[in-house]
Amino acid sequence: MISVSKMAKIEGFRVKNFRVLKDVTLGKLWNMQTAGPLTPMTGVIGKNGVGKSTLLDAFGFLADCLKSGVEEACDLHGRGGFEKIRSQGQTGPIKFEVYYREEPNARPISYELEITLDESGRPYVYEERLRQLRKGQKHGWPLLS
């Protein structure tokens, strides 16, 4: 059985240039501290084609990127490759930002991943950044960048 109390809790999520989601933010982010965090259960409502399934696959795609690498993730689950996934008409990287806590009272962590194409047309990690506030700090420096 999964112990819910031990699961990390996502407080916010931002997706850029992922299919129909050109720039969507849910909950709280590293640089958006006044927004409220996501609650343990989040519902997504909207008319057809608005991007509900895309939002769920944004989490799936990010998980695949971490598990299998960005190049393979673009082709998994019928995604059809980077150019199919990037929002039409956009040339910037696909970007994800996750703001989460590993435990309820742990200091929040911000994880950012940007993916784009190299000169030969292969998807690669353009930027990856992990940040966590140190004890007593209000405005933290990156732990890794």
Ligand X SMILES: Nc1ncnc2c1ncn2[C@@H]1O[C@H](COP(=O)(O)OP(=O)(O)OP(=O)(O)O)[C@@H](O)[C@H]1O
Q: Is residue 13 within a helix (H) or strand (E), and if so which, with residue range? A: strand 9-18
Identity of the residue numbered 102: E
Query: Pattern 74-113, binding to Mg ion, x per CB under 5 A?
Result: ----------------------------------------
CB of 56 to Mg ion, least distance (A): 8
Of 52 and 79, the one with the shorter C-beta distance to Mg ion is 52
The CB-of-18 to Mg ion minimum distance in angstroms stands at: 14
Q: Which of 33, 53, 137, 145 binds Mg ion (CB under 5 A)?
A: 53
Give the containing element (helix H, strand E) for 129.
strand 123-132
Angle, alpha carbons 14-81-50 (nearest 5°):
45
Q: Please, which residue, 48 or 105, has the CB nearer to Mg ion?
A: 48
| Least spacing, CB of residue 17 vs ligand X, in Å | 8
CB nearer ligand X, residue 20 or residue 117: 20
CB 133 within 8 A of CB 140: yes
Pure H helices in the chain: 52-68, 70-75, 82-85
- Smallest distance, Mg ion to C-beta of residue 100, A: 25
Question: Which of Mg ion, ligand X, none is residue 88 near (CB under 5 to 8 Å by kind)?
Answer: ligand X
Residue closest to Mg ion when measured from CB atoms: 53
Contacts of 30 (CB under 8 A, 6+ apart): 97, 99, 108, 110, 131
Instruction: Please work out the total of residues on this chain that contact Mg ion, with binding judged by CB under 5 A.
Output: 2
Contact positions toward ligand X, by CB under 6 A? 19-20, 46, 48-54, 84, 86-88
- The CA distance from 124 to 112, in Å, is 14
